[in-house]
Chains A and B, each alone.
Chain A
Amino acid sequence: MGRPGLNRRQLLTGLSGLTVAGSLGFAALGTGADALASGANTRVAYWNLFSGGDGYNMIAMLDAFRKANPGIDVKDSTLQWGSPFYTKLAMAAAGNRAPDLGVMHLGRVTGFSPGRLLDPWDVGLLAKYGVREADFNPELWKRALVDGKLYALPLDIHVQLCFYRKDVLKKAGLLGDDGRIVPVTSVDEWFDVLKEAKKATRKGLQTIGMWSSDQNFQWWFFVAFYTQLGGTWFDDADAEVTFDTDKAVQVLDFLRRHITDGYVDPGFAGGAGAEQFVNGGPFVWEGNWSVPVFDSAKLDYGATPLPPVFGEQATHAESHAFVLPHQADRGGAANEGAHQLAAYIVQHARQWAAGGHIPAYTPTLSTAAYKKLNPQSEYVSAMDHQATEPKVWFAGSTGILAQRVGPIVVSSTMGSARPDAAARRMKSTLTELLAMKNPMDGRTAAQGGAAA
C-alpha cells in the first residue's frame, strides 16, 4: 500500500473547502441560535428606523416587553431612516424575507402597495391584546385604512412646532400670565411678535430658525399653512388637481417674508436654526423630536403648534405606525407575537412621549404621567388639527411628492423664484404626479381607487 494520496495542493483545497462550508454553516445557524439562546418559544423579527433619542426610547420599551413576556424573543434591527429603509422593506417583502413587524410613516402606507407588500392587521387579534379603534383619533385611524382594512397601527403623531425661549420673550413682553407665548391669530400679529422679539435678541442671532433651504421642512410648513387656508390638493376621485394657486401664493409670500423682513438669516438656512435657538435665538420651527435636545440643553422654553396665522388651527403632522410586511405564509405564533408586541408598545407609549411625540393611543393622553410632561402637554391639541399630505400613492414622508414639490417651495422662500411662478410650478408638478402611474401596480392615483 502506498502513501495516502494527499499532497500539499489537495490539503489546501480540502482546508479551504472546510472553511467555506464552516462559515456558511455558522451563518445559517446564526438566526436559529439567537432564538435558542433566549429560551423563548416564539421569535418576532422587528425592523425599525429609530435612531438617536427615539432609538433609546424604543429599545427601553422593547426591553420592558421582553421582561413582561419571556416567551417571546424580539429580534430588533434598526435601519437607516428615509428612502434606504423603505427600499429594504419593499425588497424584503417582495423577496418573501420580510420581518414579522415593521415601522413606517403613515403617509407612505398608501404607496407601499397594501395587499402586495403589506399584510392587513387582524383587528380581532389586536383587540385580544387590548387595542381597539375607539382608542384612536378617528382621523388617524382613517388614514391607516385602505379598502376598509387596517394596514397600519398608529404609534404616534409627530408635528412641526413653534419653539420659543421664555427668557427672551419675557424680556420682549411677549409672555402671558400663564407663562406661555401670547396668542397669535393673524399674519400681522405674527410679524409684530417677531418685531418685538427681535428687539430683545442678542446681536448676531437670527429671530427665528425655519429651515429655509430644506426641501422637507419647507414642504411641511407649506402643507400646514396651506391647510390653515382651507386649501385642497385633488378632488375626491383623485382625478383633478384642485390646488389653489392664490392660496399657495399667500403661503409662499408669508414664508418668504421672514427672510425679506430680516427675521431669518439666509446664511443660517439649514439645521443651524436649532443651534441658534440653544444659543439664545427667540424662535425656531422644528419637529417635536427636538424636545429631548432642548431638554438636555436645560433651556427655559415652550412649544406650541405652528401659529394659526391664517385663522384656522393646523400644523403639519406625520405618524409612525406599525405595519406587517408581506409574508407568503403569514400566521402562526410569530404573527401573533407581532400583534402582541405592537399592541404593547402602542399602549405603553408614555416612554415614547418623552421623545416629544404625541402618543396615538388616546388613553395615554389623559394619564397624569403624560399631563405632567412639559412642553408636550402644551401642544397635545395638535392631534385634533393635523395638516397632512393628500392620501395618494406618491405622498408621505420623504416620498416623491416631497422630493418634487419641496425644492419649489424652497426656491420661493430663498428668493430665487417669485411666489406666483413657484405656485404655478407646484400646480403643474401636482398635475404630472397625478397622471403618473404607480410603478408598483401600473395604475394612476385615480385608477387606484381607495388604494390610490
Chain B
Amino acid sequence: MTVTSAETVITATRARTAAGSAAVRRKQGFQHGAWFVAPFLVLFALFVIWPLLRGLYLSFTDANISGDATSFIGLDNYSEALDDPLVWESLGHSAYFTLLVVPCITVLAFLLAMLAHHIERGKWLWRLCFFAPFLLPSTVAANLWQWLFNPGTGMINHVFGIETAWLTDKSYAMLAVVICTLWWTVGFSFLLYLAALQGIPAHLYEAAKLDGANAWHRMVHITLPMLRHITGLVIALQILASLQVFDQAVVMMDFLPGPEGSTRTFVQYTLEEGFTSYRVGYASAISIIFFVIIAAVALARMWLLRNREEGGR
C-alpha cells in the first residue's frame, strides 16, 4: 500500500463516516418530524381519506340516512345522475357563479391593492376597510346583504332609486349572491396582491423612470409581469372556492334554492338529496362526480401552468 493510497483510504473512510452520520441524523430527523406531522396525518386520514373512501363505497349502494337496509346497486346512481336535470342545472349555477366571481374578484383585488399600496394618508384605514369583511362569518355577511337587498326597506334600491326584486326575481338572485361574495371575500385576494406589490424591488421602478417610462409603461412592463404568479394563484384559489359556493347563497335565500331554483348550487343539491330526500347513496354518487370535476379543474390548472413555465424557459 502506498502512502497515497493510504491517504485515499483514510479520506474515503472519513467521507463514509460523515455520510453515515448524516444518514443517521436524517433518520433521527425523520423520526422527530414524524411525531410533529402525525396529528395532522391522523386527522387527515380520519376526516378526509376515510370519508372519501366511505363515500365512494356508498355511491355504489342505495344507502338511506338511517344507514340500514342498504344493498349494492353498482353504477345505477351514476347513470341516474347523468340523466338528472337538477344535477346539470345546479352544476350550471355553480359554474355561472364561478364565471362571474373569478374575473371580478381578481380585477377588484388588484385595483384595491394598488390603491392601498400607493395611497399615502390613512393607509391602515384602507387596508382595514378592504380586508375586514373577510373576517365575518358567512352567515353574518349573507344576512347583512339580505337586508341591503330588501325591496321595501333595503339600502341598495333606496340609494340607486330602483325597484329591483333582487332576491325574489330569478334574473337577479344569483347576481345578488355574487355581489355579496365579492364584498365579503375580496379581502383575501387583496392581501395576497398587496404583499406581492410590496415585494417588487423599488429599484426596478427607479431604473424605468430614469429610462423615461411613464406610469402606464411601468404598470404594463414591471408591475403586471412581477404579479403574474400571484395572479395565477388568486385565479386558481378563486375557481376552486367559487365552484364550491354554498353557505352565502343558502342563507340569503332563507335556506331555499332561490326563486325558481335559480341559486341552487351543486353543493346545495347534494345536501338536499342526502339530508332532505334521505338518499345518501345517490348524494354520495353526485358528490364523487363533483369531486372528480374539481380535481380535474385543479389538475388542468397545474398542467397549464407547468406548460407555460416550460414554454417561457
Q: Interface size of B by Cβ–Cβ distance < 8 Å?
A: 34
Of B118-126, B160-168, B288-296, which binds chain A?
Answer: B160-168
Instruction: Say which residue of A272, A416, A441 sits within 8 Å of B152 (CB atoms).
Output: A272
> Which residues of chain B are within 8 angstroms of A210 by Cβ–Cβ distance?
none
> Are B152 and A439 in touch, CB under 8 angstroms?
no
Closest to B154 in A: A272
Among B66, B170, B277, the residue within 8 A (CB) of A400 is: B277
Do A270 and B276 have beta carbons less than 8 Å apart? no
Minimum C-beta distance from A345 to chain B (A) = 27
Determine whether B215 belongs to the interface, using a CB cutoff of 8 Å to chain A. Answer: no
Stretch at the interface among B19-27, B177-185, B254-262: B254-262
Q: Contacts A267-B165, A403-B272, A416-B170 known; A441 to B69 CB distance under 8 Å?
A: yes
**A-chain residues with CB within 8 Å of residue B64 when the two chains form the complex:** 439-440
Do A440 and B278 form a contact, CB below 8 Å, given A267-B164, A270-B167, A403-B272?
A: yes
* Chain A residues within 8 Å of B260, by CB: 213, 407, 410-411, 414, 416
Inside 8 A of A399's CB, which chain B residues have their CB?
276
Mask for A255-285, Cβ within 8 A of B = 1, else 0?
0000000000011111010011000000000
Residue of B nearest to A82 (CB): B255
What is the CB-to-nearest-CB distance from A428 to chain B, in angstroms, rounded to a whole number?
A: 11
**A403 & B278 in contact (Cβ 8 Å cutoff):** no
Task: Report which residue of B68, B255, B281 has the largest number of chain A beta carbons within 10 angstroms of its beta carbon.
Answer: B255
Interchain CB contact (< 8 A) of A87 among B67, B68, B69, B275? B275
Does B150 count as interface, using CB distance less than 8 angstroms?
yes
A215, B260: Cα distance in complex, Å: 8
A442: B residues at CB distance < 8 A: 62, 69, 71
- Distance in angstroms between the alpha carbons of A149 and B99 in the assembled complex: 54
Q: A196-231 interface mask toward B, CB cutoff 8 Å, 1 = contact, 0 = none? A: 000000000000000011111000000000000000
Q: Quick check: is A349 within 8 A (CB to CB) of the other chain?
A: no
A113 and B66 contacting across the interface, CB-CB below 8 Å: yes
Would A90 and B66 be within 8 Å (CB), given that A410-B260, A416-B260 are in contact? yes
A-B contact count (CB 8 A): 94
Instruction: Kindly identify which residue among B66, B165, B276, B282 contacts A269, using a CB–CB cutoff of 8 Å.
Output: B165
Could you say which residues of chain A place their CB within 8 Å of the CB of B272?
Answer: 83, 403
Which residue of chain B is the closest to A112 with respect to CB atoms? B278
Interface of B is mostly: loop
Q: Complex Cα distance A23/B277, Å?
A: 37
Contact A90 B278 (CB under 8 A): yes
Residues of chain B lying within 8 A (CB to CB) of residue A275: 152-153
A111 to B280, CA, bound (A): 16
Question: CA A416 – CA B172 in complex, angstroms?
Answer: 14
- Is the beta-carbon distance between A87 and B65 smaller than 8 angstroms? yes
Cβ contacts under 8 Å, B62 to chain A:
437, 439, 442
Decide if A93 is an interface residue (CB 8 Å cutoff).
Answer: yes
Interface residues of A in 394-452 (CB under 8 A from B): 398-400, 403, 407, 410-411, 414, 416, 437, 439-442
Contacts of B163 in A (CB 8 A): 267
- With a cutoff of 8 Å between Cβ atoms, the chain A residues found around residue B278 in the complex are 90, 439-440
Shortest C-beta distance, A272 to chain B (Å), equals: 5
The reply on A94 being an interface residue by CB < 8 A is: yes
Contact between B152 and A410, CB atoms less than 8 A apart: no
Q: Is A91 an interface residue (CB 8 A)?
A: yes
Tell me if A170 is interfacial: C-beta within 8 Å of chain B: no
Instruction: Pull 20 A–B residue pairs with CB atoms less than 8 Å apart, ordered by A.
Output: A82-B255, A94-B67, A213-B259, A215-B257, A269-B151, A269-B165, A269-B169, A272-B152, A275-B153, A410-B260, A414-B170, A416-B170, A439-B64, A439-B65, A439-B277, A439-B279, A440-B64, A440-B66, A442-B69, A442-B71
Residues of A within 8 A of B (CB): 82-84, 86-87, 90-91, 93-95, 113, 116-117, 212-216, 266-270, 272, 275-276, 398-400, 403, 407, 410-411, 414, 416, 437, 439-442
Q: Which residues of B contact A (CB under 8 A)?
A: 62, 64-69, 71, 150-153, 163-165, 167-170, 255-257, 259-261, 272, 275-282
Q: 16 extra interchain contacts, Cβ-Cβ under 8 A, other than A94-B67, A269-B165?
A: A86-B276, A87-B275, A87-B276, A90-B65, A94-B65, A267-B151, A267-B163, A267-B164, A268-B151, A400-B277, A407-B260, A407-B261, A439-B280, A440-B278, A442-B62, A442-B69
